[in-house]
Every structure is written in C-alpha cells, then in structure tokens.
Amino acid sequence: MTTPVLVAENLTKRFSGLVAVDGVDLRVGRGEILALIGPNGAGKTTLFNLLAGRLRPTTGRIVLEGRDVTPLSLRERVRAGVVATFQIPRQFAEVTVEEIVGLAVHYGGGDRDVDGLCAEFGLAPQSQVGSLDLHALKMLEMCRAVAVAPSVLLLDEVASGLDHHERGSITERIRELAAAGTAIVVVEHSVDFIRSLCTRAMVLSFGTVLSEGSVADVFSDKVVADAYLGRRSS
C-alpha cells in the first residue's frame, strides 16, 4: 500500500449498550480502492459514517494526511477532503443538477467547471433532481462528491439497484478517480462488483475486523465465508 491518506486508529462506537464498531484500525492509500464488507449488522455503515463525519467515535481517532480530523463536523470534513455519498441519494426534487454540483464547488473548496463536471458524469445541468432515474441520481452523488476534489471518497452502496450496464459506467468512473490519486472506500454487498473494482478488502463482523487483505485472499478465507453464511467463527 502507498503512503496512507486516511488512517483510522482504534475506532470504537458505542450506542448505549451496543458496540457497533470495536477498536477498528483502517488505512487507505492514494489511488487505492478499499472494500468494506461484512454481513448485515457487521458495523460497515457505522464505520462508514464515522469516517464521513456523520457520527463521532466514542474512542479512537481519524487522521487525514497527517491531520487529526476526528473533531471536525461533517461539513468541515468535506472541506478537509473527505467526502461521502449517500446509499439512497437525497431527493432534492426542485433543485437542479447544476445547483447541487455548483454548491459543492462553491462551498466545498473545489475549482472545477460545473458544466464540465456535469458532462463528465453524463448529467444535464438544468435537470431537476426529481426527474432523474436511479442511475443518474447515483452519478449525481458521485459528481457532487468529486466536485470538491476530495482526497478520500467514501462510496456507500454506489452500485446497488443498478443493472449490469449502469454498474459498468460507475465502475469506470471510480477507476478513473482512483487512477487520478483519490483514495476510495467502498461499502458494497455485491461480491462481483467488489471483485471487479477493489484492490483490497476489509471484512467486518460484530464490529471488529475479521479479515483484511487482497480481494482474492479475503474471499478465499474460510472464516470470511463462514461469517457471510451466518455462522460464528471459532
């Protein structure tokens, strides 16, 4: 792995008596695509939200390019360079595509041309968000995230609900972003999508790291298979 861009150290998140994420360490380097996988309830979404700044960790810290960003708010973290997409894109029905992308550029600290960004993601700038189909909504999520020129891009089930062709176009865009040096963390359920896209995988189970390594190694790990089938590893 290249020099890590984002480092999470001993991240723990407790909700009352429930420990959703328990002492997780995570590193992702420039140009790397890391998959966060695990069965339902493994803590993927909580870890994702901790990295994005939507949740504050109970203990542990998150370091972005040497800077401790743990105390930063969601917006401050966006401006620092950590941007996350939503699993279910928000339906800003009456807002236009160019407004959302423009806002991301204006307030996020980017310097990209709005029309150029929209064209890059196959979006018509003047379309109302309410008129977009799921694929276009996912592209808009990616587009507004990329608009702030992030160092780290967090993608939450970006391919879910899309057909094979649409997944292909998303995969292509993610690869291009990684090739340009963006560190990418993907939460995804589709094994095929992960195999075709990610360079490394981290498997969570009951809030802890069950396995970590190359995608091929992780999916050939018997402990991982057991976790996915619902059996507790011994």
Partner 1 sequence: MSGAPVGRFHSVRGLAVGCALLVVVTVVLALGDDSYGITFWRTILMTVTLAVTWNLIGGLAGQHSFAHPIMFGVGAYVGTAVLGAAPAMPLWIVVILGALAATAVSVLLTPAFRARGPYFAILTIAASEGLRVAGNAFFPGGSAGQYVPITASPSDSGLLVYAIVITLVAIVLHHVVDESPIGSGLRMLAIDESAAAAVGVPTTRLKVTAFVLGAPCVGAFGVVYMAGATFVDPNTVFNLNYAVLAVLTTLLGGVGLLWGAVFGAVVWQLVTKQLSDSIQNPGIATMVNGAALLVVILVLPGGIVGTALATLPARWRDRFPVPRPRWTRKAGARGEAVPAT
Report the interface residues with partner 1, using CB under 8 A.
Answer: 52, 54, 64-67, 73-75, 78-81, 83-84, 86, 90-96, 98-115, 124-128, 130-132, 144, 148
Q: Cβ closer to partner 1: 104 or 203?
A: 104
* Residue 100: CB minimum distance to partner 1, A: 6
Q: Cβ closer to partner 1: 55 or 210?
A: 55
Q: Cβ closer to partner 1: 92 or 228?
A: 92
* Residue 172: CB minimum distance to partner 1, A: 24
Q: Cβ closer to partner 1: 9 or 226?
A: 9
Per-residue DSSP letters for the chain? --SEEEEEEEEEEEETTEEEEEEEEEEEETT-EEEEE-STTSSHHHHHHHHHTSS--SEEEEEETTEE-TT--HHHHHHHTEEE--SS----TTSBHHHHHHHHHHHHT----HHHHHHHTT--TT-BGGG--HHHHHHHHHHHHHTT--SEEEEESTTTT--HHHHHHHHHHHHHHHHTT-EEEEE---HHHHHHH-SEEEEEETTEEEEEEEHHHHHT-HHHHHHHHTPPP-
* Residue 211: CB minimum distance to partner 1, A: 30
Q: Cβ closer to partner 1: 92 or 206?
A: 92
* Residue 115: CB minimum distance to partner 1, A: 8
* Residue 3: CB minimum distance to partner 1, A: 15
